[in-house]
Amino acid sequence: MYEELKKIIGDSDNIVFFGGAGVSTESNIPDFRSEAGLYNARQNYGMSPEQMISHSFFMRDTDTFFDYYKKNMVYPEAQPNAAHIALARLEYMGKLKAVVTQNIDGLHQKAGNRVVYELHGSVLRNNCMDCGAFYDLDYIMEKANCEGYIPKCEKCGGIIKPDVVLYEEALDEGQISGAVEAIRKADVLIIGGTSLVVYPAAGFINYFRGNKLVLINKSNTAFDERADLVINDSIGKVLGEVTAD
């Protein structure tokens, strides 16, 4: 299977990668929907992760939102893993045209990818809800351990909101159109580290009209039967091996 994927990559100069949480878990960023994530949210806050990072909860209980968000959604020490590095290498080689990601950690850019569509936003960008002033992640994390701390704008005093798509919020139209266009034009679509159950993002693969659909995930997905190649293994291991010199 690895040799087949290597050939698919070798024969194409128009690849798009679509990735999910499994790409980041290999950088020690937990999936908040995992059993441990669900337990943590319910045990410590009495709610589900989906409730904790919803727009209505952010507006209603902002200090508790930030307490959960900084402890469970932000991992500033995380580094790109073998999958990120392999994808950056493929872009440098002119083979990979875009990365479409459901992750919010910015690790694809940190590895070197330049064309990245972040469907769910990024923890690295934060803006004042009143005046729009930009703040980096360090500003949000400045008082990470202070209970009840809400990041406020130094210019107008407004609340600073992470540029992350919360539950009940719509995806960014620019990111959607860019991702859809890249997938539609791709000759090869490689999907990795996602079970393809989160919509509307998972529905994006329906726009693919190319020749080869590849699925790399540790467990089976509902789209396996549509794929030309399915590899049930670690995304970092697979991409690392097939892109090695």
d(CA 6, CA 78): 28
3-state secondary structure of 122: strand
Q: Catalytic: which of 55, 84, 108, 120?
A: 120
3-state secondary structure of 195: coil
Contacts of 119 (CB under 8 A, 6+ apart): 100, 101, 102, 165, 171, 172, 175, 176, 179, 201, 204
Closest CA to 118 of 53, 80, 164: 164
122 Rama sector, left if φ>0, alpha if ψ -120 to 50, beta otherwise: beta
Examine the residue annotation and report whether 55 is marked as an active-site residue of this protein: no
First CA to last CA distance, the chain: 18
Q: Walk across the sheet containing 134-135 and list its strands.
A: 134-135, 121-128, 160-164
Which burial class, exposed, middle or buried, applies to 140 when counting CB atoms under 10 A from its CB (0-12, 13-18, 19+)? buried
Cα separation values, 37 from 45, 155, 201, Å = 12, 36, 21
Residues annotated as part of the active site:
120
